[in-house]
Each structure stands twice: as structure tokens, then as C-alpha cells.
Amino acid sequence: MRSASFAAALGAPIPFSRFLPEGLLPVALAQSPFSAADVGKDGLTVLGDRPINLETPPHLLDDEITPAIRLFVRNNGLPPDVEGVEDDGWTVTIDGEVDEPLRLSIADLKSQFETVTLQLQLECAGNGRKFFSPGASGNQWTFGAVGCPEWTGVRLRDALNAAGVKDSAVYTAHIGADAHLSGDPDKRPLSRGVPVDKAMDPHNLIAWAMNGEDMPVLNGHPLRLVVPGWPGSCSQKWLTQITLRDRVHDGAKMMGDAYRMPKRPVTPGAAVADEDMAIIKSLPVKSLITFPQTGARIAVDDQAEIRGHAWAGDLDVEAVDISTDFGATWTAATLGSLANPYAWRRWRAEIALPEPGYYEVWARARDTEGRMQPPLPPGWNPKGYLNNMQHRIALFAV
């Protein structure tokens, strides 16, 4: 992956790329600012280049099915070099608390199990971190660490059942081929897991394709997990191993305050002991305005379309409302159909602004258990997770 991406960025092959140390950019690229276009993600916002983390501006998420070039990138380490990997050259091992450990190539997955295509939401738990006060360390995501492509693969449940899940199995442990930023081969940048009952949900996939094509390397090619509705960190990229454990997994980014929330409300800025933190599971209800782009100008009294998406972790979206008067009144948007469980819902509404001036459109979604997006960041926490505040855009009536 690295050599192909670097060569594309330089416009020339790199004959000795195999000798370039991990974590080191070619000097021709290091001397200029890193761009998302360098890795085929033109238009995305660079939050970091070591590791690479890219956010999608909301107006670029207007498609019902997120294009590969528009899907955000969240990395913890350095991607592996997977250039030229074939279906029989990449394997995933399923072991641990199973009756019969398996080692399956991508070709084996395609031939031994039913192939499934589902549209599934993927979101970083830190989406919205930028808006907490006091701030939290980490990538300062605003609203664009989310997407909902179509994924093709096999059900995780089917592969686990083929290995035979023992009654002693409690949690999965996921391992990928990415390298730790330090270069230490004994360290993993990320190894998370989920409870076995979540792992057995039929909408989790071991996926090899996105939108009918190979997924981008930065999104996990050639093989990844997709565990929708939960933090994207559960959906291990460059998947090589799934181990069933008889305890909660304690891999990299599973302990301390990583992907954990305080068990009870805390004072903003307060320190929280590890034992008072709980692992994040289903993500909260959320909505996004994708059209028009914030700052757009529309004619007074014209019927202007507003549209976007809404999603709700393990649940479904029951309603989306919009406001053009700073939340004084709300109007119901029209919800589109659900492609399948764990897909986001398209919504649309029309507005007419009565006189020239500055306006804001606010959107709020409600899930099937009645929970609604708040206007401000909820539940301050040390790592800035689970901010599902209402999305707002600016409009000028002329």
C-alpha cells in the first residue's frame, strides 16, 4: 500500500520502496504538506498524517451510499503493504475458545460461506470530540467521522459457527496486520473486541469489498471486520485473526479510558479512575445535514430542500425534525426507507425563509426508544466520546 500510494503521489515508481523504513515519508513528500488527495481521498480534511486520519466534510456525505473516496479514515498505526495480495494469499485465523481452530483465506471465505452485501454505518466513537469543553486529546473530529457504504463479505457469525463456539467464550479479540507507530513488532496499535452475543449478530461482516469493488487500503483492504452501530474501532482493518476469549479482551485500546465512558456523570475536566469507566457499546442517535453546504445562499420565500442522514447505533431512527428559528419551533422531516438494519436513514425537508438575513438550520433525530439529540455536547468525558449534539448549518436568505 505504502509504495503504491507514494508512487501515485510522486508521479513516478519507487524502485527501492521495499527498503524505505516504516513511518518515513519520501523526502519529496515530507517537504510538502500531506494532502488527502495523496491517498485517493480528495476533499477530505487531514487531521493527522502519522497515523493518517482523515475527516469528510458533511456536504461530501450527501450520497445515500457513501462512495469509497468519501469514507473517513481512522488509523492507530501504520497500514501494511498489501500491494498485489490475492484472495488465496491473505488468511484470517479463528481460534481460542472454539472446537476447531480455522485458518481461512479470502478464497475460502468466498467458497465456503454465503456472500452477503449490506449497507452498514461506520462511525468513530470520537466523532464530535472537537466540541467538548474542556477539550479532550485525540483527533479533533467535528461531524464527518461517519459513513454508510455497501459492504460485501460473509457473516462473522457463520465463520465463528464453523469453528464451533464453546460455552466458555465471552468476548472476541481482533488482530490486524497494521504496525505500531514505534516500529516495535511486539506492540499492537489496536486490538479490540466485542461480547460474543454482539459478534453473533447477523449484520456483522468479514468484508472484502466496498460498493462492489476492492475497498481502499486505508479502509482495510484486503479484509476487515464491519461491526455496525458500535465504535468503528471494533471493526478491525487488515484482519488476520479473531480469537474467542473466556474473559473481556484486554488488547490495545481496550483498557484504561480508551473507548470507555464514565459510569456516572462527572464534572467537566475531572479525572476519572479506570474502575469507574465502562466500555462503549452501541453509539447514540445522531443526524447530519448534507445539503446544502453550510454558508449557502438561497432566495427569500423559495422552497429550498434540506437533506441528510440519521442513524442510531443498534437501534433505528424514529423521527428527524428541523428548525430554522434556533430551536423555537420544529418541523418533521420525511424519512426514507431503511435499506437494511444498521443502515442510516435518508431524510428530506423543505423550508422557505421569510426575509433576507442570516439563518441556521438545526437537525435532531429521535431513536426508537425515544432518546433525542441534545442541542449541546452531552456527558463530558475524558476522551471526548459520544458527542451526539444537533448538527447545524448556516444559510443566508437573499
With bands split at pLDDT 50, 70 and 90, how would you rate the model's confidence at 4? low
Residue ranges matching CATH 3.90.420.10 in the chain: 87-279
pLDDT of residue 151: 98
CB 381 within 8 A of CB 136: yes
Rounded Cα–Cα distance for residues 33 and 29 (Å):
7
Torsion angle of the four alpha carbons 43, 67, 335, 295, in this order, in degrees rounded to the nearest 10: 10
Unique residue bearing C-alpha cell 498524517: 49
For the stretch 212-258, pLDDT in tens is 999 999 999 999 999 999 999 999 999 999 999 999 999 999 999 99
Instruction: Decide: 336 and 346 in contact? Cβ < 8 Å.
Output: yes
Q: Say what the pLDDT of residue 28 is.
A: 63
Confidence band for 2, pLDDT divided at 50, 70 and 90: low
Distance CA 186, CA 66 (A): 36
How large a percentage of the chain has pLDDT more than 70? 94
Q: How far apart are CA 250 and CA 270, in angstroms?
A: 25
Decide if pLDDT at 8 tops 60.
no
Is residue 168 within 8 Å of residue 246, measured between CB atoms?
yes
Distance separating alpha carbons of residues 237 and 222, to the nearest angstrom: 9
SS3 288: strand
Ranges in the chain annotated CATH 2.60.40.650: 286-397
Q: Give the DSSP H or E segment for 394.
A: strand 391-397
pTM greater than 0.95 (yes/no) = no
Average pLDDT rounded to a whole number, residues 132-136: 95
Give me the pLDDT at residue 18, please: 74
Q: How confident is the model at residue 3 (pLDDT cuts 50, 70, 90)?
A: low
Class of domain 87-279: alpha beta
The class (CATH top level) of 286-397 is: mainly beta
pLDDT at 179 over 80: yes
In percent, the amount of the chain with pLDDT more than 90 equals 88
User: What confidence tens digit (pLDDT) does each residue in 27-40 have?
Assistant: 766 555 788 998 99
Per residue in 94-105, pLDDT tens? 999 999 999 999
Digit-coded pLDDT (tens) for 282-307: 999 999 999 999 999 999 988 999 99
The predicted pLDDT at position 32 comes to: 57
Which residues 6+ apart lie within 8 Å of 24 measured at CB? none
| Per-residue pLDDT, 354 | 93
Q: Is 355 helix (H, G, I), strand (E, B) or coil?
A: coil
DSSP track, 204-263: -EEEEEETTEEPPGGGTTT-EEE-TTSBGGGS-SSEEEEEEESS----TTSSTTTTEEES
Q: Looking at residue 233, what is its pLDDT?
A: 98
CA dist 259 → 72, 132, 200, 255, 284 (Å) = 18, 16, 21, 8, 14
Q: How confident is the model at residue 25 (pLDDT cuts 50, 70, 90)?
A: low
Does the pLDDT at position 23 exceed 70? no
Let me know how long the chain is: 398
